[in-house]
Each structure stands twice: as C-alpha cells, then as structure tokens.
Homo-oligomer: A and B are copies of this chain.
Amino acid sequence: MIEPFLEECLSVLTRTPAALDVLLRDLPEVWTTATEGPGTWSPYVIIGHLIHAEQADWMPRLTIILEHGPNRPFEPFNREAQFVQSKGKTLPALLDEFADLRRDNVARLLALNLTAEQLERNGMHPALGLVTARQLVATWTAHDLGHTLQISRVMAKRYRSEVGPWAEYLSVMK
C-alpha cells in the first residue's frame, strides 16, 4: 500500500519523462532551442535543469530530512548547473538521461515505503526555512508540471507574429 498522497504525486512523476520525450524528441531545432528572449531558457536548457534536479535536489533533500531532520539544512540548489552539465550533449541524450534518473529516483522513493507520519517530518531549506517531506514531494510534482508548461509556452510564443490577428484569442501570446 503506497501512502495515498505519494501515489497521487507518483502518477505524475512517472509520466513526465515520456510526455516530454513525445513532445520534444526529434523535433526541429528551431523549436527545441527557442527561448523567450535573452536570459530565458529553451526546451533544451529546461531538460538539463530537470536532470540536475533529479541528481541534486529531490531525493538528496528527502534523504536529509529522513536521516537528519531540520538540524542539517539542504545544500543550496544551483539553477544554472545545466549550462555546464549539458555541454556537448544532444537533446535525445538528455531525454534518455532524465528518464533513467527519474526511473531510479521513483524506485528509491517507492523503496522508502514512506508513511503519512514520515511525510510530515521537517527539513531545513537554506532560504525558505522549515519545510516538510510532503511539501518536498508536492514541489517535485508541481515543478515537473511548471516546466512542461514553460516548454509549451516558449514554443507557442515563437508564433506570436505568425498567428496574426488570432493573437487576440490566444492568452499565451499576451
């Protein structure tokens, strides 16, 4: 029996790599390298960010909560790591890497067999202060959806001028 909230999160967490794979693999580079302007992220950059979060954010922080509680603050997360880590890698290679890491992390999360009580345990975020394991897993899930949203938005906005008068009806263009 998986804890019900965890099961709900896992139903999304297990789907994200395949959804982004279908959306992005072998898509022309004009789409996958598009950004919303200087300093903003392309779909390619976003997949690299999701990879680094699998490596350095979610499961490492959950482990700290379970093993040390709030006495040991999390390591700060580097939001720019992908600009170095993704260097020389193709998008299909990054999609594979993300899928592999997510599969491993989901297996590790399941193996913990967390109870509702364990999900209420506290950790210490270096900037945000006290958080719970449950909030961490919820954030992992919402973070997936937020970046799926971002990828769709970056791509849609490429066509801001192409859609002509229809821009008025497309809230993404506003």
Contacts and interface: CB of A to CB of B under 8 A. Distances in A.
Q: How large is the interface on A (under 10, 10 to 19, 20 to 34, 35 or more residues)?
A: 35 or more
B8 A164 contact: no
Interface string A116-155: 0000000001001111101110110111011011001101
Interface string A3-25: 00001100110010011001100
10 contacts: A8-B31, A22-B22, A131-B164, A135-B166, A136-B166, A138-B162, A138-B164, A139-B163, A142-B172, A146-B156
Interface of A: 7-8, 11-12, 15, 18-19, 22-23, 27-28, 30-31, 125, 128-132, 134-136, 138-139, 141-143, 145-146, 148-149, 152-153, 155-156, 159, 162-166, 168-173
